Amino acid sequence: MRDIFNLIGRRLGLGLVTLLVISLIIFFMVELLPGDVAQAVLGQGATEDNLAALRKEMGLDQPAILRYLSWLQGTLIFDFGNSVVTGGSVSALIGGRLMNTLFLASYAAVIAVPLSIFLGVVIAMLRNTIFDRIANVVTLTWVSAPDFFLAYILILFFSVKWQMFPAISSLNPGMDFLELLERTFLPALVLIMITIAQMMRMTRATIVNLLASPYIEMARLKGAPPWKVIVKHALPNAWAPIISVVALNLAFLITGVVLVEVVFVYPGIGQALVNAVAKRDFPVVQACCLIFAATFILLNLAADVGAILTNPRLRHPK
Amino acid sequence: MSTLALSRYAFLITSSCVAVFKRNRTVIALCAAAIMLFLADIFTGGSTLLRYAVIGSVALGLSAAVSFGFRAFLVAVSPDKWAKEFRSLTLSASFGLIVIVLVLFTMVFAPWIAPYDQSEIVTSAFAPPDSNLWLGADQLGRDMFSRLIYGARNSVSLAMAATSAAFLIGTTAGLFAALKGGWIDQVLGRVTDIVISIPALIFALLMLSIFGPKSTVIIVAVAVVYAPRAFRVTRAVAGGVVAMDYVEAARLRGESTGYLIRKEVLPNCSAPLLAEFGMEFCFVFLLVAGLSFLGLGIQPPFADWGSMVRENATLISFGEITPLIPASCIAILTVGVNFVVDWMLHRSSGLKD
DSSP string, B29-76: HHHHHHHHHHHHHHHH-TTHHHHHHHHHHHHHHHHHHHHHHHHHHHHH
Is pLDDT larger for residue B198 or for residue A41?
Answer: B198
Give A 26-45 residues with CB within 8 A of chain B. 26, 29-30, 32-33
CB atoms within 10 A of CB A180: 16
CA distance B185 to A159: 53
The dihedral through the CA atoms of B209, B210, B216, B220 has a sign that is negative
Find how far residue B55's CA is from the centre of its chain.
23
Please report which helix (H) or strand (E) contains residue B143, including its range.
Answer: none
Bond before B301 cis per omega within 30 degrees: yes
Report the mean per-residue pLDDT for chain B: 84
φ and ψ of A2, to 5 deg:
-55, -40
Contact B97, A142 (CB under 8 A): no
pLDDT at B170 over 90: yes
Find how far residue B128's CA is from the centre of its chain.
30
- pLDDT single digits (tens) A219-276: 889 988 888 888 888 888 888 888 878 887 887 787 788 889 998 888 889 888 998 8
- Banded model confidence at residue B3, pLDDT cuts 50, 70, 90: confident
Out of B207, B289, B316, name the one closest to residue A155 (CB).
Answer: B316
Contact A240, A311 (CB under 8 A): yes
pLDDT at B159 over 90: yes
CA distance A64 to A28: 8
Please report which helix (H) or strand (E) contains residue B244, including its range.
Answer: none
CA distance B282 to B243: 31
B327/A146 touch (CB, cutoff 8 Å), yes or no: yes
CA distance A154 to A225: 40
- Banded model confidence at residue B353, pLDDT cuts 50, 70, 90: very low
Give B 289-308 residues with CB within 8 A of chain A. 289-290, 293-296, 306
- Banded model confidence at residue B189, pLDDT cuts 50, 70, 90: confident
Q: What is the mean pLDDT of residues A21-49?
A: 77
pLDDT at B352 over 50: no
pLDDT at A316 over 80: no
Contacts with B295 from chain A: Cβ below 8 Å:
278
pLDDT at A314 over 70: no
Closest to B304 measured CA to CA, from B286, B322, B292: B292
Mutate to test the interface with A, among B214, B284, B292, B294 (most CBs of A within 10 A): B294
Which residues fall within 8 angstroms of residue B57, CB to CB, at 6 or more apart?
A: none
Can you give the pLDDT at residue B13?
A: 80
Count of CB pairs separated by less than 8 Å, A with B? 148
- Banded model confidence at residue B240, pLDDT cuts 50, 70, 90: confident
Can you give the pLDDT at residue A317?
A: 57
Closest B-chain CA to A294: B198
First to last CA, chain B: 45
Can you give the pLDDT at residue B165?
A: 95
- pLDDT single digits (tens) B273-292: 888 899 899 999 999 999 99
- Banded model confidence at residue B351, pLDDT cuts 50, 70, 90: very low
Contact A201, A127 (CB under 8 A): no
Is pLDDT larger for residue A3 or for residue B297?
Answer: B297
Instruction: Give the 3-state secondary structure percentages of chain A, helix then strand then coil, rounded to 5.
Output: 80, 0, 20
